[in-house]
Amino acid sequence: MIDPIFRAKAPLRISFCGGGTDVSPYPEEKGGVVLSATIDKYAYASLRPTETGMLRVTSLDFDLTREYPLGRPIELGDELDLIKGVVNHFQFREGADPFPSGCDIFLHSDAPPGSGLGSSSTMVTTLVGVIAEWLRHPLTPYEIAERTYRIERQELRLAGGRQDQYAATFGGFNFMEFLADHTVVNPLRLRRDTLCELEYSLLLCYTGRTRLSAHIVENQTRSYREGKDAVVSALDEMKRIAIHMKGLLLRDRISEFGEMLHQAWQHKRNLDAAISTPQIDELYQAARAEGAIGGKILGAGGGGYLLVQAPFEAKHKVARALEALGGEVVPFAFEGRGLQTWIARG
């Protein structure tokens, strides 16, 4: 008999507006909102039970394999801390049961950490999903997202927001509301023509550089706590624009959506000086010169992927200008499904 292999995948996301308003303490004090959609780029996890009594982790993204004994918390301090945090959570939180056996875990993602597509949180979501499947722990989508958030932000104390965990778990086009004591994910019922036209008008360009988002988020949070007017005003405006952009999509006003994407980017730049760089500015200005309506750097900023919206007659010129400056235009499509788990038996 062939032993089963437990598998999971979850989609990465593009965030159109509102990122930053999901970072504490803004949601608790004012309520945050994010408009985002998942795309056909994924984080993957496979888990094979073993009789070794060891945890063996292979990460294709970091090109390494590590082994750890089970039965005691795994010490943190390297690239695999997110994975260790998930394993420690399942084994040693209050009321947890030990793993029934050792296991081999294999992980990989379609985008590198620090890309701005939420790849780190999506990987944690995927790992939570595959371990829950193995342990036969039924969890609702909200429970998975909340558990992933708890692992990253509370147990590992990594700076960041709430949107990525919910986007990866639920999938699709969502308007998410982050409140003091709960989160509400509102799936948007957009017309098929609207989705197709928006997808057709967007370009995803890899800048060739990744970044550590935690430092940017920490600076933004510090500035907000200190009451710096530029940061508080930028977050308030991004919240307002996200609500407006949702309405534009529901009314099929794609060009106006792009114009608001441009406005949102101008406000996002005010959150921290490290959000944009001379390279990002050059790419964005070149895209605008060729007819792009709007755009923004995805994630916390500083590198990763640039999202640009352009009318169909200018899209090819915008792509050519971005690639002439060293950018890599990456094809993508919207993905309506969130976290998926399954069992491979042979």
Residues classed as catalytic: 164
Instruction: State how far Cα 91 lies from the chain centre.
Output: 26
Query: How far is CA 90 from each of CA 8, 129, 170, 201, 331, rounded to the nearest angstrom?
Result: 17, 11, 21, 42, 36
Task: Kindly provide the b/e burial profile for residues 306-342, where b requires at least 16 CB atoms within 10 angstroms of the residue's own CB.
Answer: bbbbbeeebbeebbebbeeeebebeebebbeebbebe
What are the residues facing 109 on neighbouring strands? 43
Q: Rg of the chain over CA atoms, in angstroms?
A: 20
